[in-house]
Structure 1
Amino acid sequence: MCEIFIRANPASYESRTRSVRLHGVVTSIRLENLFWEILEEIGARDGMTVPQLLERLYDELVQARGEVGNFASFLRVSALRYMALQAHDRIPTDLSVPIRSLDARRVLERLPESWASPEPVAH
């Protein structure tokens, strides 16, 4: 069992810090390389760079929750959630299908309880 995990390229779990500008404010985010790669894939599906994706996620998180909290952790969970939703055939693996074209309610219906939260309250 462990070979599946220990044979990962060590570069994939090395951390990299990237400086990004969120509404004019420069901040640093440290994630493992594999998470950066997944975020690049997510953004590319909708024609966005990673900084553009991060700004959009940040804005929508603030709009939905009113606060951000630990943004790096949110990004890790978002990347894992993307991969899990692909594994469960909720998000197509065909990278030419933009995420924005998917029906979010349909993607999220009947998820395991621990994967979902109540409907966000708009502020």
Structure 2
Amino acid sequence: MCEIFISADPASYDSRTRSVRLHGVVTSIRLENLFWTVLEEVAERDGLTVVQLIERLYDELVEARGGVGNFASFLRVTALRYEALVAAQRIPADRQVPIRSLDARQVLRELPPGWGPSPLAS
């Protein structure tokens, strides 16, 4: 079992820090390279840069929750959630299909416990 995980390219779990400007404020976000790669894919699907995606996620998180908390952890969960939803065929694997074109309620319908939407998304 462990070989599946330990055979990963060490570069994928090296961390990289990116400086991003969120509404004029420069901040640094440190994530492992694999998370940056997944976020790049998500952004690319909607014709965004990673910084534009991060800003949009930040804004929508503030609007929905009133705050951000640990934003780097949120971005890791976003990447993991994206991959899990693709694996569960809730998000098409075809990268030409923009995320914005999907019906969020349909994507999130009847997910396994712990993967479903928060009460705010109901």
The answer on whether the counterparts of 1:65 and 1:120 sit within 8 Å (CA) in structure 2 is: no
- In the superposition, the TM-score normalised over structure 1's length comes to 0.96
Aligned residues, how many? 121
Whole-angstrom distance in 1 between the partners of 2:87 and 2:121: 25
**Cα RMSD for the two superposed structures:** 1.1
CA distance in structure 2 between the aligned counterparts of 1:57 and 1:84, rounded to whole angstroms: 18
1:10-29 superposed matches below 5 A = 10-29=10-29
Q: Quick one: percent identity of the two aligned structures?
A: 75
Matched, 1:119 2:120: yes
Q: How far is 1:113 from its partner?
A: 2.5
Taking the aligned partners of 1:32 and 1:82, their CA distance within structure 2 comes to 16
* Residue 77 of structure 1 pairs with residue 92 of structure 2: no
- Alignment partners' CA distance in 2, 1:110 and 1:120: 13
Q: Distance in 2 between matches of 1:112 and 1:22?
A: 33
Query: 1:58 maps to what in 2?
Result: 58
Q: In structure 2, what is the equivalent of residue 92 of structure 1?
A: 92
Q: What TM-score, normalized by structure 2, do the two folds share?
A: 0.96
Q: Distance in 1 between matches of 2:7 and 2:52?
A: 32
Alpha-carbon distance change, 40 to 12 in structure 1, aligned in 2, over 3 angstroms: same
Aligned equivalents of 2:120 and 2:50: distance in 1? 26
Q: Which residues of 2 match residues 39-54 of structure 1 at below 5 A?
A: 39-54=39-54
Gaps of 5+ in 2: none
User: Which amino acid in structure 1 is aligned with residue 85 of structure 2?
Assistant: L
Q: Which residue of 2 aligns with 1:35?
A: 35
Tell me if 1:3 matches 2:9: no
Name the CA distance, whole Å, in 2 between partners of 1:67 and 1:82.
Answer: 22
Runs of 4+ in 1 over 6 A off after TM superposition: none
AA of the residue aligned to 1:13:
Y
Q: Which amino acid aligns with 2:120?
A: E
Q: What SS does the corresponding residue of 2:53 show, helix, strand or coil?
A: helix
